[in-house]
Structure 1
Amino acid sequence: MARPFKHRKTGVYWFRKAVPQDLRGIIGKTEINKTLDTKDAAVARTRHAEMAVTVEREWQEHRRRQALLSGPMLDEVDNETIARAGKVYYAALLEEDEEVRLDGFSDEPRLPLERPDDPEAANDLIARDGFKRPTFDARQADREWLDAHNRAQWARGTIDPFYAGEVDEVMSWPQFGIRLAPNSPSRKFIARALQSAAINAEKARRERDQGEPIETPLMPEPAAASHSRPERASSKPKNGETITSLLADWWKEAQATGTKPSTYDSYARTVKYFITFLGHDDATHVAPADVVAFKDHRLASINPRTNKPVLPKTVMDSDLVALKSLFGWAVINHRVPSNPATGISIKRARVRNLQRDPGFTDEEAAALLKAADLYTPGNEHPKTAAGKRWLPWLMAYTGARVGEVAQLRKQDIKLVDGMWIIHITPEAGTVKTDKPRWVTVHLHLIEKGFPEFVTSASPGHLFLTPSAEGDVLGPLQGLKNRLAELARSIVTDPRVAPNHGWRHRFRAQWRLAELSMDDNEFIQGWSSGKSSARYGMTHYVMVAKSMAKFPRQDITRSAPQDAVPAPVNTL
């Protein structure tokens, strides 16, 4: 296995790899040498693995484009390809938008782009200034003009020179692998599909600007190759057994037996990564070596949200579990002969003594709750802002999982027999145990005005907006991420989970108050609890006395040294 090369004079590690014979004429080198910019051996190994994946992908792309250039030109493409071009372009634009947001915006004001009527002059200005890192407001102003420009041309049936030029670029992408003749009549239809995709992508960007967690769609699958196009590794296998089809058929069965949608979402993410890594979707051509290589690749990958390597626990418990489960199902159902993921694992390191409780300390809790009380909404959706205001308090006084309270609807909080109760139910989204439960609202929450907030809210979900198709899980995950980011900006200790720390704290405080642990198991919805069978439908009356004795949260304590209790907008 290739390893980092240490420069004998400087001590800096380098990446070094011979260029394959078939690519030397294209690349113009016989060997790739790139500095890893570190003298730390452990850091060098991680960067070397990342660099190896990047270089290999670059070489694969060189080969793919060479094959494309040597293949025949098409005079026309069918309507399905034109429609797919729009979908692929839409997904690419939202991926690009997500990358911009993850990179962050500049604090230095930049003048908005000038507004010439001449499209060529506009493109020149975009090339000159449009790719500088803007402020959030400047980017909005730029896009408003570009959107108006696109819509005006769309309405008049005008093909913008920019989108006309994008046709060849998009058709060369792996989803198509097509060389289109210069005079092809299909060009104008593809350009118009790209124009339409840009307009629709701008709608999604505007919703993101308002704090709506709009999901980036999965990139559409590559089309099956026809006799007139060069064969690609990603073409659909002749027997029809694709990894994608295994996922779809597994889910039909798993859904019927009660598997949660969140499990499907996790498996789908892994399948997306796996297919991209393999360069094909053929389930019958996956070997154990492919899974091992994928495991190593994922361990060397950078999480775009944290800008740190993907955690081994994520690779072990999400990626490998998904592949083992999916291919295991395929073997049982005689879809593939063997499970390529069997026996592949990651050696778990010994768990260190974290030397702290997994729940928030009194000082950390005070800092988080103060920030919630003082939170000033930014340029975000009002429901997102409401979540940042109320959800920390709800977790503090219910010990619920963050998703269980983040998905609450107006009808889930009601006044019954003089008591305010919260109905935590899978009908609102998802509950880990699949069992509904009722929790009494703590007096402190009532004093802070939570019932008034609920009463004045519009019908439906209090803190998120489901998608047009009614999906709750996507927006819910986005809201959970925003809450975690805000909490982590306040409590920076990595040994405590930014949302789950409330759940541990609630249970610890309950024990210290010497309250009934049976009541606690029901209130927190512990899957091992037996109290739900004992309490039945009126349990909230029986646990109300315990909840009344639960200690109030004291937010007068000093913030911890590593906390920054500033109610900042992290979007």
Structure 2
Amino acid sequence: MTLNMPSPVKDPKSGIYYIRVRVPADLTSSFGRAEVSKSLRTRETALAKERFAAEYAAIQRRWRALRAAPEPLPLKRIVSLAGRVYQRLMESLDNEPGESVIWQQVSRLNKEAAGNERALEQWYGPIVDEILLEEGIAVDQTSRWRLIVEAQRAWEQATEQMQRRSEGDFSPDPMANRFPEWQPESTPSTPSPGLTLSDLFQRWKKEHLANGKSENTVKDFAQKLDTLKDYLGHEDVERISPREISEWTEYLRHEKALTAKTVGGKYLAAVKTVFQVARSKFLIENDPAKEVSITIPRRVKSRSSGFTEIEAKKILSAADKVFELPSNMAHHNKLACRWVPWICAYTGARAGEITQLRKEDFSVVNGIPQLAITPEAGSVKAGLYRNVPVHPHLQEIGLLDFIRDAKNGYLFHIGGATKAELGKRSGNARDKIAIWVRDTAGITDERIQPNHAWRHRFRTLGLNADIAPEYLGAIQGHAGRTAGESYGEYTTETLFREICKIPRVAFN
């Protein structure tokens, strides 16, 4: 004979799963009904199965309690169960305890009930019986009454704490640890957990770092996966469905107000990458993120992405005056505001690449001064080094003198002990410049980026000066579009010839 094990039942109209279990015949009179029916609050099959298992286990504990012979319960376990009463009240009103006058009234009624057996039974009897059923415990009348008395004490303690919270005092309850931790008499064995998102992340991280890629990406991906874990409320890979991934992206867009580009290009991209690596290593059979996509609306462009000539002059003029104006800015941040905009204007480099420059990254080749943008100094997109000749105008305004007189090490921040710390400080210097461009230089147009706009401007100037795209790519550090483009390098003389075509910024 084959026994049919109970399983979730889907409502044909709503699609929501339910647990429906018949009450054993010998318990219907004591339980009060012939069937247990409760919503599992999900339309997802995998999640319904997991919630069903938890609910079914709780129901089985109730059956055991109803069938068990009453036994005495020692005081320690009684006080431990009373702690559940305390915890439930504290957790239910954790953020908003309500008005002080309410708790004054509750405290008064609670103290009045303490000496009244009928009131104690009325107030705490149902709570105690529910807790005993949840734990599958059958106790004798003496133990039950002792538990009711302890539940009243626990409620009184919680009421006093809520009174303090309602008056703005959220300090921990010094007596909260008087309740022993509840330990069931026997803990059923639980199956070993399957793969988690953390497992997949660690496997991706190992691969990522082994390939010499950025530690900053590790931190970024960790944050993105944490948001997914928080949304799901778990990290069991087998329980994650494509629909849940899709709903997570919608949550980020509509509840967290992130743009489609940010959600698709950063959050979803990170999750997809981690799952793809796991799939390629045969850790998982199905990739729940594979088919999920986000439509990114075409960006409305109402101006150039690069600085105009007027904006460029405004920033560079302000840069020349950084040390003349009173400011609480740190010296190394002033140096960054003084020189980084100028260097970006004549190299088209990313601001973060320049804020991580070191004195030793400067050299002279065949009489031509050049700056080395290298992963050894910090994060470089695509992990490729390049040498960028120094434009004659930068030489004339004193950049080489500044570098020659600087101390060894980083030019625009104080360095750090680890690569991650160095990256953070270079990023902080870059961000300080962006704030300075907005607040001091006065470039407030939100349609352009206060640092990256130099990169767009440089390419525009270069194209209009007939600098071939491949030269601009070599100067600015754009990765080649094909494998063939990664072969060979341009000489310093060649790149200097081209960079000299970039017109000078003239203030007259």
Question: Are 2:401 and 1:452 aligned?
Answer: yes
Q: Residues 518 and 292 of structure 1: is their aligned pair in 2 closer, same or farther, counting only changes over 3 Å?
A: closer
1:364 aligns with 2:311: yes
For residues 505 and 252 of structure 1, the distance between their equivalents in structure 2, rounded to whole angstroms, comes to: 38
Decide whether the 8 Å contact of 1:519 with 1:531 is kept in 2: no
Instruction: After superposition, give the CA deviation of every residue in 1:95-127 in whole Å (9 maximum; x if it has no partner).
Output: xxxxxxxxxxxxxxxxxxxxxxxxxxxxxxxxx
Structure with the larger RCO, 1 or 2 (CA within 8 Å, 6+ apart)? 1
The answer as to 2:253 corresponding to 1:299 is yes
* Structure 1 residues 344 and 183, CA gap change in structure 2 (3 angstroms): closer
In the superposition, relative to structure 1, how do residues 365 and 326 fare at CA in structure 2: closer, same or farther (>3 Å)?
same
1:406 deviates by 1.7
Alignment of 1:4-23 (within 5 A): none
Q: Contact 1:365–1:555 (CA<8 Å) still a contact in 2?
A: no
Kept in 1, the 8 Å contact 2:375–2:385? The answer is yes
Aligned with 1:477 (options 409, 424, 427): 427
TM alignment of 1:453-532, pairs within 5 A = 453-471=402-420, 472-489=422-439, 490-528=442-480
1:342 aligns with 2:290: yes
Distance 1:68 1:554 in 2: 80
Over 6 Å off, 4+ runs:
529-532
Q: One-letter code of the match for 2:209?
A: Q
C-alpha displacement of 1:315: 0.5
Where 1:433 maps in the other structure, the secondary structure is helix
Partner of 1:421: 370
Aligned residue for 1:522, secondary structure, equals helix
Q: CA deviation at 1:521?
A: 2.4
* Residue of 204, 225, 242 corresponding to 1:271: 225
Q: Distance in 2 between matches of 1:485 and 1:543?
A: 32
Q: For each residue in 1:151-173, what CA deviation from the matched residue of structure 2 results, as whole angstroms up to 9, or x when unmatched?
A: xxxxxxxxxxxxxx98838x9xx
Matching residue's letter, 2:424: G
Shift of 1:512: 2.0
Gap change, CA 1:551 and 1:283, over 3 Å in 2: same
After superposition, what is the alpha-carbon deviation per residue over 1:259-311, rounded to whole angstroms, capped at 9, x for unaligned? Answer: 43343232112012222333333333323343233212211355xxxxxx322
Q: Write the letter of the residue equivalent to 1:359.
A: G
The code of the aligned residue for 2:248 comes to F
Number of the residue aligned with 2:360: 411
Contact map agreement 2:82 2:179 (CA 8 A) in 1: no
Contact 2:83 2:179 in 1 (8 A): no
Alignment of structure 1 residues 76-225 onto 2, 5 Å: 168=172, 181-182=177-178
Which residue number corresponds to residue 400 of structure 1? 349
Shift of 1:349: 1.8
Contact 2:203 2:278 survives alignment (8 Å): no
SS at match of 2:372: strand
Matches within 5 A, 1:250-261: 250-261=204-215
Output the CA distance in 1 between the equivalents of 2:313 and 2:191. Answer: 58
- The offset of 1:69, in angstroms, is 5.8
Aligned partners of 2:176, 2:376: CA distance in 1, in Å? 50
How many residues are matched? 335
After TM superposition, the score normalised by the length of structure 1 is 0.53
What residue identity is the alignment partner of 1:317? G
Consecutive unaligned residues in structure 2, runs of 5 or more: 1-80, 88-168, 185-189
- Could you tell me whether the CA contact under 8 Å between 2:242 and 2:291 is conserved in 1? no
**AA at the equivalent of 1:510:** G
Amino acid at match of 1:485: I
Q: Write the distance in 2 (CA, Å) between the matches of 1:454 and 1:507.
A: 26
Conserved 8 A contact 1:237-1:282? no
- 1:68 and 1:245 map into 2 onto residues whose CA distance is 38
Give 5+ residue unaligned stretches, structure 1: 1-66, 74-164, 172-178, 185-225, 230-235, 303-308, 557-571
CA distance in 2, matches of 1:237, 1:336: 19
Q: Structure 2: how far apart are the matches of 1:361 and 1:433? A: 29
Distance 1:329-1:418 versus aligned 2 partners, 3 A rule: closer
SS in 2 for 1:310: coil
Q: CA separation in 1, counterparts of 2:260 and 2:359?
A: 39
Counterpart amino acid of residue 247 in structure 1: F
The Cα offsets for residues 150-203 of structure 1, whole Å up to 9 and x where unpaired, read as xxxxxxxxxxxxxxx98838x9xxxxxxx952599xxxxxxxxxxxxxxxxxxx
Q: Is the 8 A contact 1:403 1:476 kept in 2?
A: yes
Secondary structure of residue in 1 paired with 2:363: strand
What is the SS of the residue equivalent to 1:395? helix
CA contact (8 A) 2:368 2:492 kept: no
Shift of the 377–310 alpha-carbon distance from structure 1 to 2, 3 Å rule, reads farther
Q: Distance in 1 between matches of 2:367 and 2:294?
A: 54
- Provide the residue aligned with 1:326 in structure 2: 274
SS of equivalent to 1:415: strand
Structure-2 change in CA distance of 1:301 and 1:521 (3 Å) = same
The alignment yields a C-alpha RMSD, in angstroms, of 3.3
Letter in 2 for 1:437: R
Gap change, CA 1:167 and 1:381, over 3 Å in 2: same
Q: How many angstroms does 1:534 deviate by?
A: 4.0
Q: Could you say if the C-alpha distance between residues 412 and 166 of structure 1 is closer, same or farther in structure 2, counting changes exceeding 3 Å?
A: farther
* Contact in 2 for aligned 1:299/1:315 (Cα 8 Å): yes
Match of 2:376, SS state, is: helix
Aligned to 1:187: none
Q: In 2 relative to 1, CA 183–440 (structure 1 residues): closer, same or farther, beyond 3 Å?
A: same
CA contact (8 A) 1:377 1:385 kept: no
Q: 1:549 aligns with which of 487, 501, 504?
A: 501
Separation (CA, whole Å) in 1 of partners of 2:278 and 2:419:
30
Question: Take 1:362 and 1:523, find their aligned partners in 2: how far apart are those partners?
Answer: 21
Given the superposition, is the C-alpha separation of residues 227 and 317 from structure 1 closer, same or farther in structure 2, using an over 3 Å criterion?
A: farther
Amino acid at match of 2:462: W
Aligned mate of 1:70, from 73, 84, 87: 84
| Counterparts of 2:497 and 2:215, CA distance in 1 | 36
TM-score by length of 2: 0.59
Say if 1:506 and 1:345 are closer, same or farther in 2 by CA, change over 3 A. Answer: same
Answer with 271-280 or 376-385: which moved more: 376-385
CA offset digits 1:336-368 (Å, max 9, x no partner): 45322232222222343x243221111111112
Structure 2 equivalent of residue 213 of structure 1:
none
Is 1:438 matched with 2:387?
yes
